[in-house]
Structure 1
Amino acid sequence: MNSEEYFAWRNHFLVLLDRIPVPIAVCTAQGEVTVANPAMAAEWGTVPGRVRGRNLLDLFRPSRNATAQLGRLAEALRLGRRSRYTIEVRWPAGTRGAEREGELLVDPVGDASLAYPMLLAVLRVRAEVPAAGPVAEVSEVEGRILALAATGATTAAIGKAVGLTVDGVNYHLSRLTRRWRVPNRTALVAKAYVLGVLAPGQWPPVFAGDQRSRGG
């Protein structure tokens, strides 16, 4: 495969990854994230570029039961074995103060001749542990998207402003639409004001979380 074919293949892969609603990351054998899709970044209330370079074990806290599986995964990588390993994990749910729990399904992928293959990590969310705090609170990225949507900005313009693809923006908007049970973007913006997510009486629209973080 020449360099032109490689970059074309890589771009197609990244576009496909952006469209998948399941949280997915590609990592080195040491756990460093090289690619994350918007669904994975959304679990941290951020964008894919800010997850890149971080280690999975810094992002997710393995459960006590996961210690043995991590040991098996490390041994499998050392011996060149290719099997799926399930790691039970917990992590904070963005800025909402709650915790989520689930499983990382980790598969070694890539050329079998490589001494240390890449890892494909798929997050399967099991449940959310409720915590005190307003249920309407959203992540910083979601708040910025809502504020821009309230100005009438196009999906492409919103994506450029927050560092997401069009598919990434649509993912967040669809997620909020389902969460708040509203039929369209207009109703979504209206509910954001009702729930106090967007600051009232301000133009251009402002994410209320930005004001709280500044003590406003």
Structure 2
Amino acid sequence: MEDGSREAVIWRNRALTLFDRVAVPVAVCDVYGDVLLANPAMAAECGTTPGRLRHRSRYEVSVRWEAPGGAERFGELTADPVSDTVEDTPALLVMLRVQGEREPHTDAPVHASPVEARILALLARGATTAKAAKETGLTTDGVAYHLRRLSARWGASNRTELVARAYALGVLASGVWPPGA
């Protein structure tokens, strides 16, 4: 094994030994989604024991779940491959970034501010966060803020669902191209 690879493995192993001590929910999974290790924060967040946690994705995904006590929470789950050597089949290091709780659903009228509607129209056209930021004069963090608020308000778990809800709720007009607000 090359010295650079060996050093990388040593540092990765040291980081994994610390994962029990961090407050961020973290798990290591195999490529099939079976949890091999989970820190106490991950088990507590999911209201279960580490061995019963499962997720079958190797990408960053938006997730939502019912936390202990019944609150609906949402966040992003990221899975990264990790292994002791380059030859080994990698395990997955899974991290859950809890973003908050969903606002309770009400029958209040659907609303989107003019800025939110403009961002949704840009997303419907295929714009990235950076492109939407440039078009609206916001920062990328500002666009992400509006998207998180809309997702929480409408119960959308990802951007595709958010845009679909914007059409279904009449915020974006169906049958019109390009989408406009």
User: TM-score if structure 1 supplies the norm length?
Assistant: 0.38
For normalisation by structure 2, the TM-score amounts to 0.44
Higher helix share: 1
